[in-house]
Structure 1
C-alpha cells in the first residue's frame, strides 16, 4: 500500500519525465501533447480544463481534450461565471483549500452524477492555487479520469498543479507576445464583433448574447466566426484571450472574488 505522502521510485520517474518535458512546452499544441502524453502517466484522463488569472483577476479558461463528446456548448456551460461548474468548484476549493474529487457515482443524493453526465465530464478532480490576497491564481480540472478517486489522486494534483499553471502561463504569454508583435491593423475586428466577444468574455452563451443584443443566434454565430477567422484562432476562448492581448477587450468579467464566493 502506498504512503499517501510519498512517491514510489516508479512514480518519481514519471514525475521527472513530466517536469523535464514541460520545459519544452511553449506553444498550445505542445501543451496538448504534454498533458495527453507524459502527464497521463500519473493522471490518466480525457479532458483537462485549466485557467490562470490575469493581473486584474480575470480567469482565462482553456480546454485540452481528446474527448469527441465534450463540445463547445458543454465547455461554455462549465465555465459560466454564474452557475458554471468551475465557478462552483473554485468557491468550494477556496473554503477547503484541498483537491475536490467527485467520482462517477451511481447513487448520488447530491445530483453530481446527473450533472457530470449531462456535461459529458463523467467525473471531476479539481485543484486550485491562490494569490497571497486569497484570490484564485489558477486551477486545473481533470475529467474522465481513469484511476481511483483517493488520496493518491489528490497527491498527484497537489504536486502537478503548480507546474501545470506555470507551463500554461508560459504558453499564453508566448501567444500574447506573438499577437502584439504581429503587424495586424488596429481596426482588425469590427465594433459589433468586439461587442459580441465582450459578452463571450463574460460567459454568455450564443442564445443569451442574441437576446441581449437583439440579434438572431445565426447573426451572433457569424460575428463570432468572422472574429475568430480574423484573429486566427479556433475557439471562442482563444478569441477572447487574443482580443485582450491585442487591447480590443478589457480583462474583466468572470472573475472569482473571495469576498463574494459565499453570496451566491
Structure 2
C-alpha cells in the first residue's frame, strides 16, 4: 500500500477524514469521462484546486505520447489537442520529476521552459494556460507496463502550498486507477459527447423526466448537483454544453418548484428530501 506523507490519518480532523474517504469512494465508481469530470470538479477541488488536469503518458522520453484532458473550461478537450504539441512540456516536466526522485513538485508557470504561445494560436488549451499561474506535477511509475504517466495540474491559484503536494501524492493512485477505467473518447470532443449523451440514459436524463425529489426534472436535478459543488451558471453551461442563459432558466424553475429564492436555500431544501 502507498504511504501518505503529511496527510497521516491521526493528523486529520473527522471532517477532513470523512471528506477524504468520500473522494476515494466516488473515485472508485468512475466509469466515464463525465464521471471523471464530476469527480475532479467536486470535493477534489478542496485539496487540489485546479482548472485543468492533463495526463500524458508514453515511453518516458520517447517521442510517442498519448494524453487526456479533464477540464470544465470551454473548448479545453482531449480531442482538440495533439499529443505532439505536448512533447516539449512532457519532456521538460518528466525530466524534472525523474531528477527529483519521482516525487511531486510544483512550479509557477513562468518557471516552466514550455511556453503556450504556439498552442494559443490554434487551441483553447493553449489560450487557457495564459490564465493559469501554478502547476502541480506528479507521476505514476508503471513498472509492469513500462509507460510512466505524468499528471499535471494547472491552477489559477497564485501559489499552491505544501498541502497540495501531500494531496496529490495521496490521491494520485486513485486518480490514475479511475483514468485507466475510462475508455478513450471517440473523435468527437467532450462537448459533442455531452450533447449526444441522451443516447445513453446512464449519462444524463431527459429534460422532462422527473426525479423523485420535489418534482425536479433530471436536467434540473443535474444542474442543482453542480450548484452544490459551487459552480456558476457559466461553468455549469460549459460542463453540460448549454448556454448560461439556459442554465439560468432552469434555475428559475428549480427555485419555483422548491419554493425558495436563492441557491443557498435551494441546496438546503433539496437536502431535506421529498416535500410533504
2:171 maps to 1:171: no
**2:31 counterpart of 1:26:** yes
Q: Distance in 1 between matches of 2:114 and 2:67?
A: 23
Q: Which residue of 1 aligns with 2:42?
A: 37
Partner of residue 133 from structure 2, selected from 122, 141, 145? 122
Structure 2 equivalent of residue 90 of structure 1 = 94
State the secondary structure of the residue aligned to 1:80: helix
The match for 1:62 is 68
Check the 8 A contact 2:104/2:139 in 1, yes or no.
yes
Q: What residue is the counterpart of 1:4 in the other structure?
A: 6
Displacement, 1:23?
Answer: 2.0
CA distance in 2, matches of 1:68, 1:114: 21
The 1:115/1:79 distance shift into structure 2, 3 A limit, reads closer
| Per-residue CA distance 1:52-110 (angstroms, 9 max, x = gap) | 559xx9543110112338588995488532x2x13311121122111120135xxx6x5
For residue 233 of structure 1, what is the aligned residue in structure 2?
188
Match of 2:182, SS?
A: helix
Distance 2:22 2:145 in 1: 32
Partner of 1:4: helix, strand, or coil? coil
Rate the CA distance shift 1:112–1:80 in 2: closer, same or farther, 3 A: closer
**Residues 1-264 of structure 1 correspond to what in structure 2 (within 5 A)?**
4-6=6-8, 7-9=11-13, 10-53=15-58, 59-68=65-74, 75-76=81-82, 79-81=85-87, 83=88, 85-96=89-100, 97-103=102-108, 110=111, 119-120=129-130, 121-132=132-143, 135-146=146-157, 148-172=159-183, 233-234=188-189
Give the TM-score taking structure 1 as reference length.
Answer: 0.53
The count of corresponding residues between Structure 1 and Structure 2 is 170
Normalising by structure 2, what TM-score? 0.51
Higher radius of gyration, 1 or 2? 2
Question: C-alpha distance in 1, partners of 2:73/2:42?
Answer: 15
C-alpha contact 2:79 2:189 (8 A) present in aligned 1? no
Kept in 1, the 8 Å contact 2:133–2:157? The answer is: no
Aligned partners of 2:67 and 2:12: how far apart in 1? 33
Contact 2:65 2:83 in 1 (8 A): no
5+ long unaligned stretches in structure 2: 118-125, 194-276
How far residue 24 of structure 1 moved from its aligned partner, in angstroms, is 1.8
